[in-house]
Amino acid sequence: MVRFIKKNRALSICFCFTFTFCIFFILKLNSKEEVNYAYNWLNFLFQLSIGFIINFIFFITQIYIPQYRNDREANRCIGVRIDGIVNHMGELLSQLGTIYMGEYDEDKATSEYWLDVLRQININDRVGVLKVERLYSTSPNEESYFTVKEWIISRVEFVESDADKLMRYYAPYINANLMKTIERILQSQIHQNLARSMLKLPPGISFSDINVDIFLNSYYALMRDLKKMSAQYKK
């Protein structure tokens, strides 16, 4: 009810006024006071008020409540999709931080931290996640794990898949800020350059001489921004 009043302040005020007037008019009719010349006007306003109240109740029960339930369910689904995107982005970053810096703390990662990670990246190194497809014919060994190259590409693909579903199914319920953030993620250097072209270059590619990180830190910032937005769709 509080949510409704905040979003429909004028309508709520009109309802309170008309409801109060109807109560006043009914009590006035039941009093022994002589009906004066203003009765016809008051009765006319009473009929208008009754009509407004009926339509108000109809709006609440047949339009607002169903729409509210629909919006709430849509927001829940949006929250799930956002969490999926955040998780995939976090998985990409956490594995790189862990193998190259020994540890990863999302709340403490800095631009210097990500620059150090980037300089150490070797696309043939192995992350700490098993690739299921390699377990069918052999027992787990070093070759069973994702390479850095495979891991980055796989997480990027998952992010893009979830983002596509989010925009395709829930676009009418998404605010401009979320839409802008999703677009910035899809247009980020990791998606547009690292995963699509640079990782497909010969295995000898090196980032050791890079002085400016245009990949990881900005991606990390976008992930944090998106994580904050997730809470808006879980209220």
Contact 131, 148 (CB under 8 A): no
Mean pLDDT over residues 170-179, rounded? 93
34-64: per-residue pLDDT in tens? 555 577 777 888 899 899 999 999 998 998 8
Mean pLDDT over residues 162-190, rounded? 95
Q: Please say if the pLDDT value at position 141 is more than 60.
A: yes
Q: What is the number of alpha carbons within 13 Å of residue 6 lying toward its C-beta? A: 3
CB proximity list for 160: less than 8 A, separation 6 or greater: 186, 191
Q: How many independent structural domains does the chain possess?
A: 1
Q: What is the reported pLDDT for 183?
A: 97
β-pair partners for 130: 145
Q: Please say if the pLDDT value at position 163 is more than 70.
A: yes
Q: Please say if the pLDDT value at position 33 is more than 60.
A: no
Amino acid at 68: Y
Q: What is the reported pLDDT for 133?
A: 75
For CA atoms 208, 113, 153, 120, the dihedral sign is positive
**How open is the CA angle 222-88-234, to the nearest 5 degrees?**
70
Query: What's the domain range around 42?
Result: 2-233
56-99: per-residue pLDDT in tens? 999 989 988 898 899 899 999 999 999 999 999 999 999 999 99
Q: Please say if the pLDDT value at position 135 is more than 80.
A: no
Q: What is the reported pLDDT for 146?
A: 93
CB proximity list for 101: less than 8 A, separation 6 or greater: 113, 116, 117
% the chain with pLDDT above 70: 90
CB proximity list for 219: less than 8 A, separation 6 or greater: 89, 92, 93, 185, 188, 189, 190
Q: Which residue has the higher pLDDT, 234 or 138?
A: 234
Q: Please say if the pLDDT value at position 224 is more than 90.
A: yes
pLDDT band at residue 199 under the 50/70/90 scheme: confident
Mean pLDDT over residues 216-226, rounded? 97
